[in-house]
A and B are shown apart, each in its own frame.
Chain A
Amino acid sequence: MPDALLSLDSVSKSYWRGPSEVRVLSDACLELHAGEFMGVWGRRGAGKTTLLRIAAGLETPDRGTVRFDGEDLSLLSEQGHARLRRDEIGWIRRSGPRSELCILDYVALPLLIEHGQREAKRRADRALRRVGMAECAGQHWESLSDGERALVAIAHGIARRPRLLLIDDPTANLGVREREEIMILLRALVEETNLAVLMTVPDMPTALRSHQLRALSGGRLLTPPPDGRDDGDDGDEDNVIDFPGIQRSA
């Protein structure tokens, strides 16, 4: 199996809330390969967003190592970090920023730094077509439904053709059917383009379209044993589910 595109090795992170130190992540480990879709479930406040921010290099762990394509993020220069976040990693937040721009211009906006206006709009149009929102290109954010906004947010995230997409659950306000459509779309994007996706999910059923599911609980990112057996690691019986019949990328 090729090397992981994203790896977290024994990552820990704590915050101070008033006088108390809260351990948000505790020895978290994960490997995500190109063409894989990993869902991370956890209750509110469990640390899911922190996990994504550490994966993006936006926050530094207290301990442990984060690698992107084999590079230790802690050793990257500022320019290296900037290149990573600009070119390699796409980010989709829970609630996209409201914008007065029309949808096409909103999706094209980040592309303007590297491309001229025409090329930026061409790529934005392509991203919108891929998510089925090309007809809304001239509309604006205020006129879209929550489901449409989630699709536009995905278009915004993929327009720069990142290798890794970090998604902070844009489906929280959506109904079951719309969530399913979003997850089917993401799964298709992963398989078509070899994109790696790390996404926080609101519940287990939403995660069924992902290749792997992790549960974040008590700061721990629960992982399956390497050989698939439950070896009673730390007496932990709540283990991760690898869905049968879903192949990982070769």
Chain B
Amino acid sequence: MLELRELVKHFPAASGAPIRAVDGVTLAVPDGEFVALYGPSGSGKTTLLMLIAALMRPDSGSIVLNECDISKLSDADSARYRLNELGFVRQTLNLITGASALDNAALKLMGTDMGAREARRRIVPLLDRLGLGERVSHRAEQLSMGERQRVMIARALSTEPKLLLADEPTGSLDSMRGREVLELLAETCRERKVAVLLVTHDPQAASFADRVFALRDGRLAEHEPDHLSAALKAG
């Protein structure tokens, strides 16, 4: 389970009061739950993700993943945490041109103490499960955008993380491919009992989650279904 407790992160502003990017956020995401954080640009979504990924430290509050306080990790332990405990799926794809889907997906495993051969062997079932079984030997540049994102999801899941962070993962995709990726994230969450935290400005994407929280000016509020429906209708 991921628990955020009164998390605060402020940034100095050129003039006047500091920017309260994350302002007292409290949230619990159990294993196997898919939670969406929905909010406009500037609402604090990215800052919150950076804090959870231990890429920056909070000013106060705590971030606890399965009883380990992430906010107090050393730089070395933070790097280990990101490698082993965390999966990260982003809008921008970090695929290696010229390398196969198999090798691209296995890269994170290759970065652990596991050898390349074992890494490749381990990743095949996951690629198959993600619908890429027939494409494992295709080069990154031969894959569609949706397939590339699925390779990145495979890479993110390869180390069997406890938490999957998804930062606008469908931003580069058309609506049909985006829907496929979000359905995949929801299935992954249920099957693997992974906590999934999706950050998005798109109400359609947020609607795939079990729970939706609105983030505005650094503060969280659980989204009432009516509000989300209204947001969806508003487009």
List the interface of chain A (C-beta within 8 A of B).
Answer: 56, 58, 78, 81-87, 91, 97-102, 105, 108-110, 112-113, 116-117, 138, 140, 142-143
Contact = CB atoms under 8 A, between A and B. Distances in A.
A113 B116 contact: yes
B12 interface: no
B33 interface: no
Given A109-B96, A142-B50, A98 B110 contact: no
Interface in B87-112: 88, 90, 92-94, 96-100, 103, 107, 110-112
A113 B107 CA distance: 7
A105 B80 CA distance: 11
A83 B98 contact: yes
Contacts, number: 76
Interface of B: 50, 53, 55-56, 75-76, 79, 82-83, 86, 88, 90, 92-94, 96-100, 103, 107, 110-113, 115-116, 139, 141-142
Interface SS, B side = mixed
B83 to A, nearest CB: 8
B139 A78 contact: yes
Contact of A98 (B90, B98, B112): B90
A117 B92 contact: no
B99 A86 contact: yes
A117 B118 CA distance: 13
Contacts of A100: 53, 55, 82, 86, 88
Given A97-B90, A105-B79, 20 more contacts: A78-B142, A82-B139, A83-B98, A85-B98, A85-B139, A86-B97, A97-B93, A98-B92, A100-B53, A100-B82, A100-B86, A102-B79, A109-B94, A109-B111, A110-B96, A113-B110, A113-B116, A117-B110, A138-B75, A138-B79
